[in-house]
Chains A and B, each alone.
Chain A
Amino acid sequence: GQNIDQPTEMTATEGAIVQINCTYQTSGFNGLFWYQQHAGEAPTFLSYNVLDGLEEKGRFSSFLSRSKGYSYLLLKELQMKDSASYLCAVQDSNYQLIWGAGTKLIIKP
């Protein structure tokens, strides 16, 4: 079966760095996405990785290793507004997105 695993919840301190991991087993691979979802709101697109390596976008970076079925989202200089759920999703061989259950990130002052 297809499976996306990510931690249920993480806590970090304002100003610090946090890494959210995602491992996947899917039927084929056509890219991995990270989305941010604030409580009661729609998911918003953060990043897309299709090749191995690190993609940096301001305070957020995303890493992919296809051979290990592994990705992480790195958030630097954490701000209170970063408190949200972070969703990992993999596009399978049919270009359908398979979603993880999300990681709830709690930022403490």
Chain B
Amino acid sequence: IAGITQAPTSQILAAGRRMTLRCTQDMRHNAMYWYRQDLGLGLRLIHYSNTAGTTGKGEVPDGYSVSRANTDDFPLTLASAVPSQTSVYFCASSEGSGGNGYTFGSGTRLTVV
């Protein structure tokens, strides 16, 4: 592993199903983030974690939950998927307040039907 690994790469999910998107980093960054990216819109923050054991809500948290049991892993769970959650999901991490930039995973393309 080098950087951030996301899984799966893509997924088609039936509405109402539960789904967990996985994110693992090996850079020992304290802060981690989940974004969704939709055509014509900027990246929107779903949830974040400034350090292991803490999480916070971003701009669009409804319908999503996260956990941060350790430094490396930051899974995102959709409890009951809806079509409006069709999007590309990016996990990112940063060292400290992010002045050196955020490192992004390669993304998960999720389609809810």
Taking Cβ atoms with an 8 Å cutoff, the residues of A that contact B are 4, 30-31, 33, 35, 41-45, 48, 50, 87, 89, 91, 95-102
Contacts and interface: CB of A to CB of B under 8 A. Distances in A.
B87 interface: no
B63 interface: no
The list of the 8 closest CB pairs from A to B, nearest first, reads: A45-B101, A99-B42, A42-B104, A99-B43, A101-B42, A95-B97, A42-B106, A43-B104
Interface in B69-103: 90, 97-103
B1 interface: no
A8 to B, nearest CB: 8
Which size class do B's interface residues fall under? Answer: 20 to 34
Contacts of B42: 4, 87, 89, 98-102
B41 interface: yes
Contacts of A33: 98, 101-102
Interface string B34-48: 000000111111001
Nearest to A96: B45
B112 to A, nearest CB: 20
A98 B104 CA distance: 16
A43 B90 contact: yes
B99 A50 contact: yes
A31 B97 CA distance: 10
Contacts of B105: 42
A87 B43 contact: yes
B61 interface: no
Contacts of B97: 30, 91, 95
Given A44-B104, A102-B42, A31 B48 contact: no
A85 to B, nearest CB: 10
Contacts of B107: 41-42
